Chain A
């Protein structure tokens, strides 16, 4: 992994009072994204609008496509053209992207998709918040593969984690999702953008060997294949079909048994390096509240009240949701009485907590169907029940 300084043209150094959607656009520009293909969808459109306004000043391409299928397909094309690319969407658009997300995983395309989640299913609550696409982020496209998903809880983190998303996508040649929500997307807060010389980004893993020896899917020592730019004189093949090292289709079980484990293992085996968690007062806690995105900020109030009532509550915030912090949950499950998992859906990440806790500690869910954030009292009630 080669780290380089960013192109200062994309970095809007200073303190800004902007919303999460704008911060995602700024994060992308700062990370060196110079290709954005998007399609308007509430509540994420502001990111596309910001990008369209900023990109002529930075240099690069903004294209509004005819739909979300077009957006992600154009991104895949642009990556083979050598660019860092991103898009932004919400539930229905995310659903439309799923087939091409699978293609990007199969082709091992580094790209970033921000999903400013709204209430679903279907058109659902276009203007109101939700955290209901968390499982879709992991399982939405068909077949076995792994992706990375991050979940910012503030406009500042929208900026920071979008840069991180680019770094992870380049490191592991994989689509990375910034799974935020309408509340964070539309929340205005101070966002500090550091000077360009303080931002380091991961450079694409360019192949530098002889032109006739390039194999697009031959794994390097770190398990990640090299990339080239189409048009630079390399003759290679890439496809959505199961393929060999040369990228040519090989349709049989033997090849599949190499490709699929690679797509999964390159993420799972590096989970410790990828996963970012934020923990508070977790030592000696009897209850651990696990949350992500806007819900982690709502949960703070409930946690404070529970602590006042004498309950030992720790918090664990998932900045990385996928890959899931399996190991950490297993460790905690042995020590604590129970997990409490508030999230703005009818039960998604709580299932992962339950799976990892494997019966050692129960996971109490605090559901919310979307449209608004939890009432902290509802979370407090469940913390109290779990502590009984």
Chain B
């Protein structure tokens, strides 16, 4: 098991000096995930907060080989890189025993929505890559429009809450399960509040042969509208309320990695966040009920799958 003390001594691959918002979850995730491999690493990064904030010319916060793709195709780009390296190995231009890791990454906009086709194709073809989605529930880079990962009832700039609407009307897309349905060797859902779990999953994802997918809940004080210093507490509640359960699917087998001793009500998750503020109006009570019901159903289903 990794010790924080040892991890802290490792060289950063995403270094300081990026321009991400105060309290942003992205660096939290990447500082842990990028420590999960010591092999040479190549990252393909779609347009989004991570890309924009780490590479404002002439600066870069990256200490690894890094490629910016278009918005919709980080997965295809990293698939191309991986295929090229395989060919170079075959031709003997890179020693056969040299291990190189490949990571494709984007936010929920670039993964759940516009990037889903590219990701699905990459998974199906079986490239030996890891794809990480940092899911901050919105198109945060362009000012907080709704994505298919935005929760029910959240107010986003293109699903605004008001007299005519209680915010987003749809339940979020269950991307982790969609990826599990690709029958790839490894799919997992993680959260930066449990860094050890995140680290273990990233390590497994890098080490496993074939495609692996990580869906990581990413704190976003700017769009979720909570106090920046309370991020990790909020992330803990996401996990303890089963809004964001931690689980993995390894070779088709579901495993729940953490079961809260006492499942917290979703209200604890919702209350601190300004994007849900309007849900406490009388006419929106049904949204809270629906939210709790769906979370309960999904949790139950997840446990059923894990018991198989």
Interface residues of A (CB under 8 A from B): 38-42, 45, 48-49, 52-53, 56-57, 62, 64, 66-67, 92, 96, 122-123
Contact = CB atoms under 8 A, between A and B. Distances in A.
Which of the listed residues A42, A52, A64, A92 has the most CB atoms from chain B within 10 Å of its own CB? Answer: A64
Interface in B62-102: 68, 70-72
Nearest to B47: A123
A233 B157 CA distance: 39
B145 A92 contact: no
Given A45-B143, A56-B162, A62-B158, 20 more contacts: A38-B158, A40-B145, A45-B142, A45-B157, A49-B143, A49-B158, A52-B157, A52-B158, A53-B162, A56-B165, A57-B164, A64-B145, A64-B146, A66-B114, A66-B116, A67-B72, A67-B113, A67-B114, A92-B71, A123-B71
A123 B70 contact: yes
B113 A49 contact: no
Contacts of B148: 66
Contact of A52 (B72, B139, B159): B159
A41 B142 CA distance: 7
Interface of B: 47, 68, 70-72, 109, 113-114, 116, 139, 142-143, 145-146, 148, 157-160, 162, 164-165
A151 B268 CA distance: 50
Nearest to B138: A40
B24 to A, nearest CB: 19
B145 A45 contact: yes
A92 B113 contact: no
B70 A49 contact: no
8 contacts: A38-B158, A40-B158, A49-B143, A52-B157, A56-B162, A62-B158, A66-B114, A66-B148
Contacts of A92: 70-71
A96 B148 CA distance: 20
A49 B157 contact: yes
Nearest to A36: B158
B87 to A, nearest CB: 26
B158 A64 contact: yes
Contacts of A42: 142
B114 to A, nearest CB: 4
B114 A64 contact: no
A52 B160 contact: yes
Contacts of A123: 47, 68, 70-71
Given A66-B148, A67-B72, A53 B47 contact: no
A56 B161 CA distance: 11
A49 B162 contact: no
Contacts of B109: 40
B163 to A, nearest CB: 8
Contact of B142 (A40, A52, A96): A40
A67 B47 CA distance: 14
Nearest to B165: A56
A49 B145 contact: yes
B54 to A, nearest CB: 14
Q: Which 5 A-B pairs have the closest CB atoms?
A: A56-B164, A67-B114, A40-B145, A66-B113, A52-B158
Contacts of B162: 53, 56
Contacts of A122: 70
Nearest to A42: B142
Nearest to B115: A67
A62 B145 CA distance: 13
Which of the listed residues B71, B116, B162, B165 has the most CB atoms from chain A within 10 Å of its own CB? Answer: B71
Contacts of A48: 145, 158
B55 to A, nearest CB: 11
Nearest to B148: A66
Contacts of A53: 160, 162
B285 to A, nearest CB: 20
Nearest to B157: A49
A264 to B, nearest CB: 32
A200 B157 CA distance: 31
B25 to A, nearest CB: 20
